[in-house]
């Protein structure tokens, strides 16, 4: 188990007053859990939270090697992305696409550090509906090329036939409802907390808020096996597991690509799949996807100086 800090210890680690710790939990998402009435802080998650707020990163000291047949993708997971990677590997025998799950923010950081060719991300600003660009502008000195992979339905995965009658995020605050959640740094967690904030709900008071699941499918399986009544996730998972789904929004899921590597053969072959019939059929079969702008370049449409939190 990772080292756990007390409130006093985390205050010392962050060099702040203990009272400020509580404000950071409520307002800035400082990772914490409450056990027997006391707050505890996993040190690894606290360090990740600090890194997520860091600005003015130095330039990476190394570059990815010249393209030699492997496309490295890191970031947010998605069922249609998994299918597309399989299509790529089956179709192009001299190339291989490999995916590393890191969450949307982890993907952006991996791209900044030259650890991957492509980052998959769906981070939404907390004070408007802009996707990815505010975070890119904060994290990276060089703007990557941003290509839309898909639009997809995000919402709440619930049990089949929705026996508790959950109609919106607001209903999750009702007594007795058990949820599971996604980890910090994922776009789904970001959207979920944004919706809770809109409803004036303190997520920490919801049973299971700190029960973290790594991937979308893990959330669906928790609901399917009655370990939870609901959890944030995508429609394709709910459909695949025969569960109910309460929609929140249609979100933009993008591929962020270093401009220096954009015209690498493998990158172009991968992007070419987004216009093929097999890709469109897979999206139809999975459900919850809109491919109207898939494969097209997207650009920021809001003030880059907007706050993220």
Nearest to 213 by CA among 177, 188, 248: 188
7-14 vs 43-52: helix crossing angle, rounded to 10: 40
Residue 22 has a pLDDT of 87
| pLDDT at residue number 273 | 98
| pLDDT tens digits along 102-132 | 999 999 999 999 999 999 999 998 877 899 9
Cα-based angle 110, 155, 153 (whole degrees, multiple of 5): 70
CA distance 204 to 222: 19
User: How high is the pLDDT of residue 95?
Assistant: 97
Q: What is the DSSP string of 105-150?
A: HHHHHHHHTTS-SEEEE--B-SSSS-BSHHHHHHH-SSPPEEEEEE
pLDDT in tens, 33-47: 888 888 988 887 888
Q: Answer yes or no: pTM beyond 0.75.
A: yes
Beta-carbon-side half-sphere exposure of residue 200 (alpha carbons within 13 Å): 0
Judge contact between 256 and 144, C-beta under 8 A.
yes
- pLDDT (0 to 100) of residue 126: 80
The architecture in CATH of the region 70-150+252-290 reads: 3-Layer(aba) Sandwich (3.40)
For residue 117, the Cα-to-chain-centroid distance in whole angstroms is 18
d(CA 75, CA 259) in angstroms, rounded, equals: 18
Q: Do the Cβ atoms of 244 and 157 come closer than 8 Å?
A: yes
Average pLDDT per 10 consecutive residues for the chain, totaling 309 residues: 80 89 83 85 81 60 81 97 97 96 94 95 87 91 94 98 96 92 92 92 92 94 97 98 97 95 96 97 98 95 44
CATH class of 154-250: alpha beta
For 233-259, the DSSP string reads EEHHHHHHTT-EEEEEEEEEEEEEE-G
Euclidean distance between CA atoms 268 and 255, whole angstroms: 12
Backbone angles phi, psi at 91, to 5 degrees: -85, -35
- Taking the CA atoms of residue 183, residue 188, residue 193 and residue 199 in that order, the dihedral angle to the nearest 10 degrees is -150
């Amino acid at each position: 188990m990772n080292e756990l800090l007390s409130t006093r210890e985390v205050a010392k680690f962050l060099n702040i007053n203990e009272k400020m710790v509580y404000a950071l939990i409520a307002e800035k998402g400082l990772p914490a859990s409450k056990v027997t009435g006391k707050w505890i802080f996993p040190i690894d998650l606290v360090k990740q939270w600090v890194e997520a707020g860091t600005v003015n990163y130095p330039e990476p000291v190394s570059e990815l090697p010249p393209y030699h047949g492997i496309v490295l993708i890191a970031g947010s997971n998605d069922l249609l992305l998994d299918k597309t990677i399989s299509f790529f590997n089956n179709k192009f025998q001299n190339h291989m696409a490999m995916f590393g799950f890191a969450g949307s923010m982890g993907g952006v950081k991996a791209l900044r550090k030259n650890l991957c060719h492509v980052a998959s991300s769906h981070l939404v600003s907390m004070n408007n509906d802009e996707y990815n660009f505010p975070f890119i502008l904060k994290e990276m000195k060089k703007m990557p090329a941003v290509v839309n992979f898909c639009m997809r339905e995000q919402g709440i995965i619930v049990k089949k036939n929705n026996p508790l009658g959950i109609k919106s995020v607001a209903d999750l605050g009702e007594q007795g409802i058990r949820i599971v959640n996604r980890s910090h740094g994922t776009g789904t967690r970001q959207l979920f907390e944004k919706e809770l904030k809109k409803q004036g709900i303190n997520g920490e008071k919801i049973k299971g808020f700190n029960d973290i699941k790594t991937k979308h499918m893990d959330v669906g399986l928790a609901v399917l096996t009655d370990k939870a009544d609901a959890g944030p996730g995508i429609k394709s998972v709910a459909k695949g597991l025969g569960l109910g789904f309460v929609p929140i929004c249609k979100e933009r899921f993008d591929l962020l690509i270093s401009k220096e590597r954009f015209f690498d053969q493998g990158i172009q072959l991968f992007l070419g799949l987004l216009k093929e019939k097999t890709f469109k059929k897979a999206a139809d079969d999975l459900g919850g996807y809109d491919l109207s702008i898939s494969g097209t370049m997207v650009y920021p449409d809001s003030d880059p100086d907007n706050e993220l939190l």
